[in-house]
Amino acid sequence: MPSIASLLKVKRENVRLMYIVYFAFFTSGMMSTLIGALLPFMKEEYHMSYVLSGAVISAHQIGNFCALLIAGYLPYMIGRKRSTITLSLGIVIGFLLMTLSGNPILLLIAFAFTGIGRGTLSNITNVVMSEISENKAASLNLLHASFAVGAFVAPFLAILSTSVFGVYWRISAWVLVAFELAVLLFWTRSSLSGKPKTKNRDEGTDFAKSPRFWLNTAILFFYLCSEASVIGWLVTYFNDTGRLSPALAQTTSSALWVFILIGRLACASLSVKMNKNVLLLILGFLQVVFFFMMISVQSIVLIYISLFGFGLAMSGTYPTTLSTMDKRFMSSTIATGTCIATATVGAIAMPIIVGSVAQSVGIAGGLATISLSILCMFSLMVVKYLLGRRQPVAATA
């Protein structure tokens, strides 16, 4: 049976780095859903309002945004290895800080630090996999599948720490810190360059003049609006509306990421067999259908069916959209960082909007506002598909 490296066409000298990248993104996935899984417990213990709950999710995304910009330029100053290790420390600092105090300002700072770590890992892992793998679409889908595995595992840590050890959610936070420390150790021993990166002419601002670059960025903007809000608010939504028991509400996050994992593995295969614009159009349409289903049905069975469909539909949107970028842009930390950072503005704004609406009309109304971003995303996918038919360009489809 062919190895993962041979399937992704990764050279032998880069195989170890490939596994480190996948493990790093696995821990990033753990952190992503652990925030949403722990939020109800933090909300209760620290007496957090819906507005503050939304604000800390947005603070996480603000840190993510800042890191994506910094991580795009810092390698040119101190090298990829030092910049990655330095900024990734934000996850360790943030999770330790949020277990120590419920002070609103400290919580905002803590969540911002976790975002800094997440943004750094998002930038470096996507860039490195694009560089070392010839099969970019499959490697990026598998990279995000590793994220999904981590995202699936994390809520069970929360369930274990709160059901077996009592309401002691801090244990799961500390486990994540241990994983992240292991990642930092692996980075120190990786083949990432320790020297300041040389800036090539193609890594300037050429991407800023590309309409297709900004169309892809806009699609990711609205996608991250919905992803950040759904992941951050999903457990709280089902818990506070009483549509699911607290235990079942915790499992919704893991269930969603199981379906995302299945979908990303499927998209990794489909992306090399069909037109990527058509694939994106299908994924966008299904997100619209299953999101409206998820917020409308009452039956537990139908809720999980909607989660299944929504997770599958979300699965390939991010990596498939990235894989349609011009190769020059995907090999540039500046272009990649600008794209993901700009898109992350949506992930910053939407959670606090959901929290503000929820504070006024209830969590059900708050979550319903996410439908606007999903509809906008789908509309842009239609535009991308139509442009692709009129002006087919293999490198930038």
The CATH number that applies at residue 38 is 1.20.1250.20
364 found inside a domain: yes
For residue 200, what pLDDT is reported? 55
Domain assignment present for 312: yes
**Count of domains observed in the chain:** 1
pLDDT of residue 89: 93
3-state secondary structure 148-211: HHHHHHHHHHHHHHHHCCCCCCHHHHHHHHHHHHHHHHHHHCCCCCCCCCCCCHHHCCHHHHCH
Q: Within a domain: residue 255?
A: yes
- 317 inside domain: yes
Query: What was the pLDDT predicted at 395?
Result: 40
Q: Three-state SS for 261? A: helix
Residue carrying the six token digits 């506002």: 369
- Rounded Cα distance, 312 and 282, in Å: 11
Q: What is residue 164's predicted lDDT score, i.e. its pLDDT?
A: 65
Domain range for residue 134? Answer: 12-194+206-390
What's the pLDDT score for residue 323?
78
CA torsion angle for 268, 270, 276, 278 (degrees, to 10)?
Answer: -140
Torsion of CA 225, 226, 229, 230, to 10 degrees: -170
Q: By the 8 A CB rule, do 10 and 18 touch?
A: yes
Question: Is 4 part of any domain?
Answer: no
pLDDT at 202: 47
Nearest alpha-carbon partner for 132 in 194, 206, 201, 193: 193
396 domain-assigned: no
Look at residue 329 in the predicted model and tell me its pLDDT. Answer: 67
Cα–Cα distance, 130 to 234 (Å, whole number): 32
pTM of this structure: 0.72
pLDDT by residue for the chain (397 residues), tens digit each?
A: 467 777 677 777 777 888 898 899 999 989 988 888 888 889 888 999 989 988 998 899 899 888 877 766 777 788 888 888 989 999 999 999 999 988 999 999 999 999 999 888 887 888 888 788 776 767 877 887 788 788 888 888 888 887 766 668 888 999 999 999 999 999 988 877 666 665 555 455 677 777 888 999 999 999 999 988 888 888 888 888 888 887 788 788 778 878 877 887 787 677 667 788 888 999 999 999 999 999 899 899 999 999 989 988 988 888 888 877 777 766 666 777 778 778 888 888 899 899 899 989 988 899 999 999 999 999 999 999 888 887 654 444 4
